[in-house]
């Protein structure tokens, strides 16, 4: 399956790079600055298991050669509008689009731009960043993607997409419950992002501080109450995973915290703003999440001056 990754940053570079390493047919749509780095250094992944370099095919917006059978969207929420324009020539009648973005708002935008028959759901779990050399750094061993049609139905493209997104290098899960999976990922990330950006620390440090564990439990409870009121109560297995991760002693952070620490833009509106809007619609109190959103909004305003 001809596969296009839109974005070769932390998530796109990691999962697309691993697929290129496994010999899959992967092309990256990148912007000129990123292309210069990848031309010079290759796509380099530094992980707890060692370092890998691949040299996948790169294209820029002026040379998109469509259609691709599979497009994996791996940009930040604030870059989505332009990405949808740039990737349009890659979309054909049977293209499947799998987004890796956190949050939910991009689902409607994708459906609006390319139609419900092409827009699928997707989640990714990885702790990754791009370092000063432009290399992808996997910060912990976790690496999993999930994907599937939004209606959860049978789609004859699912087995091919599963093959295209599978290698030996990460966990790859086709799903018939992808909307629920995305909600679960959203509330976990909202909890992680709120805690780490408010406390300016990793989860291990927060847990070691007086009141830290209680803060984590209260923030998670708020996010779960919102999802429950919205008819997306997290399943018991997901709750157990949240609780295990939130109990860690490891310096686990969120991508939002890492972005904030580097002075980069943050996805506060798409992650916390939208979740708080869901809370407001249903009168669910969420003081911790609201405090985190206010904090991030102040950061965003100061950043742009």
Ligand X SMILES: CC(C)(CO)C(=O)C(=O)O
Ligand Y SMILES: NC(=O)C1=CN([C@@H]2O[C@H](COP(=O)(O)OP(=O)(O)OC[C@H]3O[C@@H](n4cnc5c(N)ncnc54)[C@H](OP(=O)(O)O)[C@@H]3O)[C@@H](O)[C@H]2O)C=CC1
Task: List the one residue from 24, 255, 257, 292 that touches ligand Y (CB under 6 A).
Answer: 255
Of 222, 220, 148, residue with least CA distance to 179? 148
What whole-number distance in Å separates Cα of residue 198 and Cα of residue 205? 13
- Catalytic, 281? Answer no
Helix (H) or strand (E) holding 85: helix 80-87
Return the number of the residue (84 or 193) whose C-beta is nearest ligand X. 193
- Residue 172 found at the interface with ligand Y (CB under 6 A): no
For the chain, what percentages of helix, strand and coil (3-state, to nearest 5) are there?
50, 20, 30
- Residue 128 found at the interface with ligand Y (CB under 6 A): yes
Judged by beta carbon distances under 5 to 8 A according to partner kind, the member of ligand Y, ligand X, none in contact with residue 135 is: none
Of 147, 163, 169, residue with least CA distance to 45? 169
- Residue 195 found at the interface with ligand X (CB under 6 A): no
DSSP one-letter code for 293: H
Task: List the one residue from 4, 70, 79, 195 that touches ligand Y (CB under 6 A).
Answer: 79
Q: Which of 185, 249, 281, 302 is catalytic?
A: 185
Q: Shortest Cβ contact with ligand Y: which residue?
A: 9
Judged by beta carbon distances under 5 to 8 A according to partner kind, the member of ligand Y, ligand X, none in contact with residue 31 is: ligand Y
Q: Is there a contact between 266 and 300 (Cβ–Cβ < 8 Å)?
A: yes
* Site track for ligand X across 87-126, x = CB under 6 A: ---------------x----------------------xx
Which ranges of 150-286 does DSSP label H, i.e. alpha helix?
A: 158-164, 178-199, 203-208, 212-229, 236-246, 255-261, 268, 274-281
* 150-189 binders of ligand X (CB under 6 A): 188-189
The residues carrying an active-site annotation are 185
Would you tell me which residues interact with ligand Y (CB under 6 A)?
Answer: 6-12, 29-31, 33-34, 74-77, 79, 82-83, 86, 100-102, 124, 126-128, 130, 255, 267
């Amino acid at each position: 399956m001809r596969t296009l990754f839109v974005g070769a940053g932390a998530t796109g570079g990691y999962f697309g790079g691993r697929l290129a390493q496994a010999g899959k047919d992967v092309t990256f749509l990148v912007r000129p600055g990123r292309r210069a780095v990848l031309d010079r250094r290759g796509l380099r992944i530094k992980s707890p298991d060692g370092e890998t370099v691949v040299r996948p095919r790169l294209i820029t917006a002026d040379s998109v050669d469509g259609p691709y059978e599979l497009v994996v969207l791996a940009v930040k929420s604030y870059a989505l509008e332009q990405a949808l324009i740039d990737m349009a020539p890659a979309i054909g009648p049977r293209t499947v689009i799998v987004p890796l973005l956190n949050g939910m708002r991009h689902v409607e935008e994708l459906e609006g731009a390319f139609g419900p028959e092409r827009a699928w759901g997707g989640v990714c779990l990885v702790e990754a960043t791009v370092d000063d050399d432009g290399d992808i750094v996997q910060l912990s061993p976790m690496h999993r993607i999930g994907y599937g049609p939004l209606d959860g139905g049978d789609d004859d493209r699912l087995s091919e997409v599963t093959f295209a997104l599978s290698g030996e290098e990460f966990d790859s899960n086709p799903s018939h419950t992808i909307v629920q999976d995305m909600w679960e990922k959203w509330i976990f990330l909202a909890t992680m992002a709120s805690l780490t950006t408010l406390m300016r620390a990793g989860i291990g440090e927060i847990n070691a501080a007086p009141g830290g564990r209680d803060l984590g439990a209260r923030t998670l409870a708020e996010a779960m109450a919102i999802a429950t009121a919205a008819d997306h109560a997290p399943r018991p297995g997901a709750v157990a995973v949240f609780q295990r991760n939130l109990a860690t002693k490891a310096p686990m952070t969120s991508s939002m915290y890492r972005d904030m620490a580097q002075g980069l833009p943050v996805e506060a509106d798409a992650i916390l703003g939208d979740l708080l809007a869901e809370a407001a619609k249903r009168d669910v109190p969420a003081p911790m999440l609201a405090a985190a959103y206010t904090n991030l909004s102040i950061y965003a305003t100061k950043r742009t001056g």
